[in-house]
A and B are shown apart, each in its own frame.
Chain A
Amino acid sequence: MGLAGVDMVIVPATTGQMGVLPGHVATIAELKPGVLSVHEGNETTKYFVSSGFVFIHANSFADIIAVEAVPLDQIDANLVQKGLVEFTQKLSSATTDLEKAEAQIGIDVHSALNSALTG
């Protein structure tokens, strides 16, 4: 992605979906796995971000930092379903805190992917 002037972006912050318009107060927010939508005129482009941050600067520049950000049509729905089932099972068989945390992350990410595809 690069530098572009757009009307609005909606980012999946850990505190919920956050709409960012020009003139937004300077903010740093942590992102959770979810959909990023970029609105320009009548068009909306959606991406799924794995996690990351958004820095909104006072001059209405916003930086979105994500390790992975993919257009929604690159996501395979079957793999998402399989993953969700697999991690739900892993959570019930997990013993250590770390295993439980990893399984919970798996569930969160796959549920978010699922909502992104069906939403």
Chain B
Amino acid sequence: MAPNAAVPFWRAAGMTYITYSNICANLVRNCLKEPYKTEALTREKVHFSISKWTDGKPEKPTIRSDSPEE
């Protein structure tokens, strides 16, 4: 048995699948022709707010906004 057989290089470097997948998607989006490229850039924007809950009440939310890397 080889429990660590054939780990993908990105996993070996400490990256998770979701990070890998998002990098791939961003690279593909950057190689598009116009007008598809501008439409795609709108898909890249991630904007969400997180709140921790204690005693059934939400605390102050943190806003997380991902700007696409160029």
Contact present for A70 and B12 (CB under 8 Å): no
Count, chain B residues at interface, CB 8 A:
23
Query: In the complex, what distance in Å separates the CA atom of A34 from the CA atom of B42?
Result: 23
Query: In the complex, what distance in Å separates the CA atom of A67 from the CA atom of B32?
Result: 15
Q: Does A105 reach chain B (CB closer than 8 Å)?
A: yes
**Residue interface bits A92-119, CB-to-B below 8 A is 1, else 0:** 0000011011101110011001000000
Whether A48 contacts B13 in the complex (CB less than 8 A), given A70-B36, A74-B36, comes out as no
Q: Is the interface of B mostly helix, strand, loop or mixed?
A: helix
Which one, A1-9, A21-29, A36-44, A76-84, is touching chain B? A76-84
> Across the interface, which residues of B come within 8 angstroms of A109, CB to CB?
24, 27-28
Whether A98 contacts B21 in the complex (CB less than 8 A), given A74-B32, A76-B33, comes out as no
Tell me the smallest distance from the CB of B31 to a CB of chain A, in Å.
Answer: 4
> Across the interface, which residues of B come within 8 angstroms of A76, CB to CB?
31-33, 37
Contact present for B31 and A67 (CB under 8 Å): no
> Across the interface, which residues of B come within 8 angstroms of A52, CB to CB?
21
Residue in A closest to B23 when the chains form the complex, CB atoms = A105
Contact present for A33 and B24 (CB under 8 Å): yes
Contact pick for B15, options A50, A51, A80, A101, CB 8 Å: A101
Q: Does A68 reach chain B (CB closer than 8 Å)?
A: yes
Residue in A closest to B15 when the chains form the complex, CB atoms = A101
> Across the interface, which residues of A come within 8 angstroms of B38, CB to CB?
none
Tell me the smallest distance from the CB of A85 to a CB of chain B, in Å.
Answer: 13
Whether A105 contacts B10 in the complex (CB less than 8 A), given A68-B25, A68-B40, A98-B15, comes out as yes
Q: Does B51 reach chain A (CB closer than 8 Å)?
A: no
The 5 residue pairs across chains A and B that have the minimum distance between CB atoms:
A101-B13, A67-B25, A97-B13, A50-B24, A50-B28
